[in-house]
Structure 1
Amino acid sequence: MSTLSTPSPGPVRPGPGGPLTGSVHSWDLSIGVDGPGTRFVAFLAGCPLRCRYCHSPDTWYRRSGRSRTVDELMAEVGRYRRFVQVAGGGVTLSGGEPLLQPRFTGEVLRRCHELGLHTALDTSGFLGARADDALLDATDLVLLDVKSRDPATYREVTRTGRIGPTLRFGRRLAERGVPVWIRFVLVPGLTDDEANVAGVADFAAGLATVERVEVLPFHRLGAHKYAELGLTFPLAGTAPPTPDLLDRVRGRFAARGLTVT
């Protein structure tokens, strides 16, 4: 994956009656990571959570991005439209947390749909109530980051959040027939408790539209960003999961009849 652009920080323009703007941190091309095929991925700035394993602390604040109109972002999408379509991909809105900017996110997804592009929304679901029906109508796939099923563990992971909104959002997606890929980050000593893993697996298995579960091994690749920002990486002393632990956890999901990667 290579960064195509990292806009310099700038304020988000207000402007009632003017062009709809959002705070965009950067954009990228990815292959098989942020949805099917080769994808144009826009990372929106701002997130209400402070996950202990977050590898993008540079996206936490909206001021970390640059103000972009929908037309400006769509012009960038247009440069790669043919390429991603031929490669069986599309456009993914990620973050940060794209539902922190629901009007901007919804309009970009709608415009991508008009171009015949497959759309994906990468979200924690914590702000799922902000996604109105029109936004979901323009979303072909949701990459839903389920950080934990246990409320106490969820709060320990996110340092600010509650699991309830994510669970409600997941059920709403299933009721609407929206395809979902569940993402679960496996962190030794934090999210690997057997009861917690079983809870996430049960939740995923209970959603009729879950197409796959991605068990993502914790890594420390973003630690340098914390140093650059003068922050302490909370999990600096935590090792990635062993292959045996990964296999056991993936097996737990597979035992519930789920497709696991």
Structure 2
Amino acid sequence: MSTEADVPQTPLEASSPFELRVGLSKDVPETTVRQALASGDMGFLHSFTTGSAVDGPGVRVVAWTAGCMWRCAYCHNPDTWSMRNGMPVSIATATEELAKYRNGLKIMKGGLTISGGEPLMQHKFVTRLFAAAKGMGVHTALDSNGYYGDLLSDDELASIDLILLDIKAWDPARHLRYVGMALEPTLAFARRLAALGRPIWIRHVVVPGWTDDEATPRGIADFAASLGNVERVDVLPFHQMGRYKWSNLNLTYRLADVEPPSDEAMQRSIDAFRAAGLRAY
């Protein structure tokens, strides 16, 4: 199998996940990509970032994967939709990179979060990197839309300390228009995690004109409260930090003129989750 040494190198660590990165594995043979996905020997990463305080408990290293089957209207990293835009990184290299930070992560009560893109498009690589992290005593968190949750066995889920589950909308028809995929697989994964007693943090983005109505947070809140394993809800404001990527990638951006939500709109959503008995921020 070809390695990352066969590809012109971009630094793995980025100053921000908002860096535009394209074509980093365009010359990797298709057979190598398929072998990597099947074995987990290699992953395709947008970048590593360090010092995050918003992607799980404590201060965290985040591995941003490339490849996503959803097409969220507000996505701030559309360059992560294509796995070909990601950098080919062996599991050994990713593990070595993580090892640089393990002592600091423990001191700062943080850990490794794997986000994307959608990490479960590379579930073999993801589970192997999580296993390596657990071997270092590093806390693990998966930030996922849950659509491919069935790819993870119960044993693999047991090695993931926390699931950050993204629920984009509540009305199934709106969800389909919003992300291009059905809502139910995400909810089914949440119910499975509840049955297994695996902790969840729900993540929800407030987008004016899309998810800032009363029904959306109330529906998600009632569902989350019914599960019994939701420890926290992060209510996140829509922003335009990735707008330039849509233009650079020649993509039509439907939210180009949408402003971030007001403080009042954010508080309404937070209050809806708190009214259901959930810790929401």
Q: Residue 164 of structure 2 aligns with which residue?
A: 143
Q: Residue 194 of structure 1 aligns with which residue?
A: 214
1:206 Cα offset (Å): 1.1
Q: Unaligned regions of 5+ residues in structure 2, if any?
A: 1-13
Q: Deviations over 1:34-74 (max 9, x none)?
A: 11111111011000000001000110011011211111100
1:217 & 1:18 partners in 2: Cα distance? 37
Worse-matched range after superposition: 17-26 or 87-96: 17-26
Worse-matched range after superposition: 187-196 or 103-112: 187-196
TM, length-normalised to structure 1: 0.94
Q: Could you say if the C-alpha distance between residues 68 and 203 of structure 1 is closer, same or farther in structure 2, counting changes exceeding 3 Å?
A: same
Q: Residue 118 of structure 2 aligns with which residue?
A: 97
Q: Residue 263 of structure 2 aligns with which residue?
A: 243
2:23 & 2:172 partners in 1: Cα distance? 37
1:245 Cα offset (Å): 1.2
Q: Residue 56 of structure 1 aligns with which residue?
A: 77
Corresponding letter in the other structure for 1:173: L
For the aligned residues, what is the CA RMSD? 2.0
Q: Residue 44 of structure 1 aligns with which residue?
A: 65
Q: Residue 176 of structure 1 aligns with which residue?
A: 196
Corresponding letter in the other structure for 1:85: K
Indicate which of 46, 52, 65 corresponds to 1:31. Answer: 52
1:130 & 1:101 partners in 2: Cα distance? 10
Q: Deviations over 1:166-202 (max 9, x none)?
A: 0010011111111111001111111122222211111
Q: Residue 220 of structure 1 aligns with which residue?
A: 240
Q: Deviations over 1:91-129 (max 9, x none)?
A: 011000000011111111111111110000000111111
Secondary structure of the corresponding residue to residue 227 of structure 2: coil
Q: Unaligned regions of 5+ residues in structure 1, if any?
A: none
Corresponding letter in the other structure for 1:2: S
2:261 & 2:39 partners in 1: Cα distance? 49
Worse-matched range after superposition: 208-217 or 3-12: 3-12
Q: Residue 5 of structure 2 aligns with which residue?
A: none
Indicate which of 142, 147, 155 corresponds to 1:121. Answer: 142
Does structure 1 retain, via aligned residues, the 8 Å contact 2:22–2:84? no
1:250 Cα offset (Å): 0.8
How many aligned positions are there?
260
Corresponding letter in the other structure for 2:92: D
Q: Could you say if the C-alpha distance between residues 19 and 54 of structure 1 is closer, same or farther in structure 2, counting changes exceeding 3 Å?
A: closer
1:207 & 1:260 partners in 2: Cα distance? 15
TM, length-normalised to structure 2: 0.87
2:225 & 2:154 partners in 1: Cα distance? 24
Give % identity.
43
